[in-house]
Amino acid sequence: MSADLPGVLLVMTTLPNADTAARIARALVEGGHAACVSIGAPVRSVYVWQGALEDASEVPLAIKTTANAYDALEAALRALHPYELPEIIALPVTRGLPAYLQWVDAGCGGAGRSC
């Protein structure tokens, strides 16, 4: 990634239903924690919880934010999230359309070009 482009992250989490997902998506964008949040089609999550195999329907969020905004995003998402232990994972974006990366930066309070 060229040095003068912002470090963008794709953050992923899952919510129990579409209403909660939409409410949290709006809160993250309006709070300046993310430039864009995509609410995905429902998924089935298979995992072990307290010794039992679970197979739960969940709604995934794909959150476009920046490395600089990550700590505040994680804290806000943690506070908003209904789960005791939510999935919150961040993947690095190493290349991208420069104007879009700057737009994400601006959406998260960075110096990038806004729209």
Nearest approach, Cβ of residue 90 and its own copies (Å): 4
Query: Site residues (CB under 8 A) for its own copies?
Result: 8-10, 12, 14, 22, 25-26, 29-30, 35-50, 53, 55, 58, 60, 62, 64, 67, 70, 74, 78, 85-97, 99-101, 103, 107, 115
State in angstroms the smallest separation of the CB of 82 from its own copies.
Answer: 14
Report, in Å, the least distance between residue 70 CB and its own copies: 6
Task: Note whether 114 and 107 are within 8 A (CB).
Answer: yes
Rounded Cα gap, residues 102 and 97, in angstroms: 9
Nearest to 21 by CA among 9, 32, 37: 37
Single-letter amino acid code for the residue at 95: R
- Looking at the Cβ atoms of 82 and 86, the one nearer to its own copies is 86
In the block, residue with structure tokens 């060229």:
2
